[in-house]
């Protein structure tokens, strides 16, 4: 698995990774199609499985694990995995790896410190997701969490001076409307819920998570524009900060309880599944997402909403009423419209009139959909990191 250079537009092929540039002309198209289908499947499964697995683990009867410990463990495993990948990239030469990390992490300490702020936000976001999913049905969370598209777009306009087409503004309005309808259905008691779950707390947590996701992604793009470093190095640096900050959060929020009951209190195979999904799922997406264009990512998000809803019906007895179906349908449509390429969006928008904001010459394109959560793996900027560090 080769690391992707931050300033490179293509990924170096590694063992088991197919490089389109190395294929025979007659096989390139077929190989790309297969990779796109594989990418679609991975993106859908990653989007839906993490939410469903957290919901399942948090609603099981018996002792409930500490969410803060799960966040820390995911960061530790992610950091160790990236360290091993960098070790493999250095062909197993420990001396070269140590010299590389000394230069990248300590000598270039300014670049390392730049990652402290997004790492803090992502650690907060990970903890907020546990709070939200513990208090909202998985399908409701999945739909509401698409507000991260809205927050990322708004922060991009405000912080990076990007422009959105008329169709994209309309899709954001449609997205907000759909989420509002779903939340109205939830507030109206569309589905029975356990007494220990508070939809108000869940909504507040998911909104805060979306705000942090949008801000962190755009801020990360802004501060790292023009810097170098592979995606594995950046994830290792984020993992170092994430582990340290996660431990601080653990001590502050649940330190006494963890000290009394133990770090791994309440851990079951389901909990370990959640931790492994958080740690490795995003890294897996980092490998395949470069084969997925924006339409495919939007389609994957839409499919993951459908999959989460169907699974919630079977696993958690979730009830789909017309109001939820309407809201979820609007969100799915909004996600698809927002993810359309700029040229297609202009063509569609021309039916009702010109774009509200024309793209100035030389200006970067507007923020595109990311269907992943926010640690460097996730969420708003990963697809661009795979081509170049945001801006990544």
Distance CA 202, CA 220 (A): 26
Model confidence band, residue 326 (pLDDT cutoffs 50, 70, 90): very high
229 pLDDT more than 90: no
386 pLDDT more than 60: no
What pLDDT is recorded for position 25?
A: 46
Please state the domain count of the chain.
1
Dihedral of alpha carbons 241, 87, 35, 279, sign: negative
In the 8-state DSSP scheme, what is residue 226?
A: T
In a domain, 294, yes or no: yes
Are the C-beta atoms of residues 66 and 266 closer than 8 Å to each other? yes
What is the average per-residue pLDDT within 158-172? 88
DSSP states of 149-198: HHHHHHHHHHHH-----HHHHHHHHHHHHHHHHHHHHHHTT-S---TT--
What is the average per-residue pLDDT within 203-226? 84
The SS3 assignment for 16 reads coil
Q: What is the pLDDT of residues 2-50, one digit of tens each?
A: 333 333 333 333 333 333 333 444 455 777 777 777 878 888 888 888 8
In a domain, 159, yes or no: yes
CA distances from 2 to 5, 75, 284, 384 (A): 9, 21, 12, 16
Are the C-beta atoms of residues 209 and 145 closer than 8 Å to each other? yes
Report the chain's mean pLDDT, rounded to a whole number. 77
Residue 31 burial (CB < 10 Å; 0-12/13-18/19+)?
A: middle
Closest Cα to residue 342, out of 166, 151, 172?
166
Q: Specify the length of the chain in residues.
A: 392
Give residue 235's domain range. 37-186+197-344
In a domain, 48, yes or no: yes
What pLDDT is recorded for position 192?
A: 58
Q: Which of 7-11, 37-41, 177-181, 319-323 has the lowest mean pLDDT?
A: 7-11
What is the average per-residue pLDDT within 123-130? 91
Q: Which of 150-154, 224-228, 361-365 has the lowest mean pLDDT?
A: 361-365
Are the C-beta atoms of residues 169 and 356 closer than 8 Å to each other? yes
Model confidence band, residue 245 (pLDDT cutoffs 50, 70, 90): very high
Percent of the chain's residues with pLDDT above 90: 28
Q: Which of 25-34, 198-207, 380-389 has the lowest mean pLDDT?
A: 380-389
In a domain, 2, yes or no: no
Residue that wins the pLDDT comparison between 191 and 168: 168
In a domain, 389, yes or no: no
In a domain, 220, yes or no: yes
Distance CA 313, CA 75 (A): 31
Model confidence band, residue 164 (pLDDT cutoffs 50, 70, 90): confident
What pLDDT is recorded for position 296?
A: 72
Residue that wins the pLDDT comparison between 360 and 226: 226
Q: How many CB atoms are closer than 10 A to CB 270?
A: 14
Residue 63 CA, chain-centre distance (Å), reads 29
Residues with Cβ within 8 Å of 109's Cβ and at least 6 positions away in sequence, in order, are none
In a domain, 357, yes or no: no
What is the average per-residue pLDDT within 154-169? 88
What is the average per-residue pLDDT within 341-349? 57
What pLDDT is recorded for position 294?
A: 61
What pLDDT is recorded for position 28?
A: 58
Closest Cα to residue 33, out of 16, 17, 20?
20
Distance CA 332, CA 234 (A): 32
Q: Which of 132-146, 193-207, 304-318 has the lowest mean pLDDT?
A: 193-207
What pLDDT is recorded for position 19?
A: 34
72 pLDDT more than 50: yes
Closest Cα to residue 97, out of 113, 76, 112, 83?
83
Closest Cα to residue 387, out of 320, 298, 291, 295?
291
What pLDDT is recorded for position 281?
A: 78
In the 8-state DSSP scheme, what is residue 390?
A: -
Residue 299 CA, chain-centre distance (Å), reads 15
364 pLDDT more than 80: no
In a domain, 373, yes or no: no
- Quick one: tokens of 240? 């170092």
100 pLDDT more than 80: yes
Model confidence band, residue 367 (pLDDT cutoffs 50, 70, 90): very low
Are the C-beta atoms of residues 337 and 171 closer than 8 Å to each other? yes
Distance CA 177, CA 333 (A): 11
């Amino acid at each position: 698995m080769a690391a992707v250079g931050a300033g490179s537009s293509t990924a170096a092929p590694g063992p088991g990774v197919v490089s389109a540039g190395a294929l025979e002309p007659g096989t390139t198209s077929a190989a790309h199609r297969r990779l796109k289908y594989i990418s679609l499947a991975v993106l859908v499964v990653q989007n839906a499985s993490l939410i469903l697995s957290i919901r399942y683990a948090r609603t099981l009867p018996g002792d409930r694990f500490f969410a803060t410990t799960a966040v820390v463990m995911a960061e530790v495993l992610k950091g160790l995995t990236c360290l091993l990948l960098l070790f493999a990239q250095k062909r197993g030469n420990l001396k070269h790896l140590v010299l590389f990390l000394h230069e990248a992490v300590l000598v270039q300490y300014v670049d390392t410190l730049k990652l402290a702020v997004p790492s803090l936000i992502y650690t907060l976001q990970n903890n907020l997701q546990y709070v939200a999913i513990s208090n909202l049905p998985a399908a409701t969370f999945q739909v509401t969490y698409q507000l991260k598209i809205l927050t990322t777009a708004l922060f991009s306009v405000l912080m990076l001076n990007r422009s959105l087409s008329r169709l994209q503004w309309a899709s954001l309005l449609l997205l907000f409307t759909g989420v509002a309808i779903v939340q109205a259905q939830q507030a109206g008691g569309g589905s029975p819920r356990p007494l220990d779950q508070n939809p108000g707390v869940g909504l507040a947590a998911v909104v805060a998570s979306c705000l942090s996701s949008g801000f962190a992604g755009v801020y990360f793009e802004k501060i790292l524009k023009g810097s170098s470093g592979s995606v594995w190095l950046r994830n290792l640096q984020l993992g170092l900060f994430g582990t340290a900050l996660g431990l601080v959060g653990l001590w502050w929020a649940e330190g006494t309880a963890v000290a009394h009951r133990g770090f791994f209190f309440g851990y079951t195979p389901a909990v370990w599944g959640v931790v492994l999904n958080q740690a490795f799922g995003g890294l897996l997406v980092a490998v395949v997402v470069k084969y997925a264009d924006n339409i495919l990512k939007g389609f994957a998000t839409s499919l993951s909403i459908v999959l989460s809803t169907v699974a919630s019906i079977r696993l958690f007895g979730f009830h789909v009423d017309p109001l939820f179906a309407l809201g979820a349908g609007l969100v799915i449509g909004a996600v698809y419209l927002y993810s359309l390429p700029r040229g297609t969006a202009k063509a569609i928008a021309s039916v009702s009139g010109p774009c509200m904001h024309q793209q100035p010459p030389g200006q970067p394109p507007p923020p595109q959909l990311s269907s992943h959560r926010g640690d460097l793996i996730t969420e708003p900027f990963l697809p661009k990191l795979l081509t170049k560090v945001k801006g990544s």
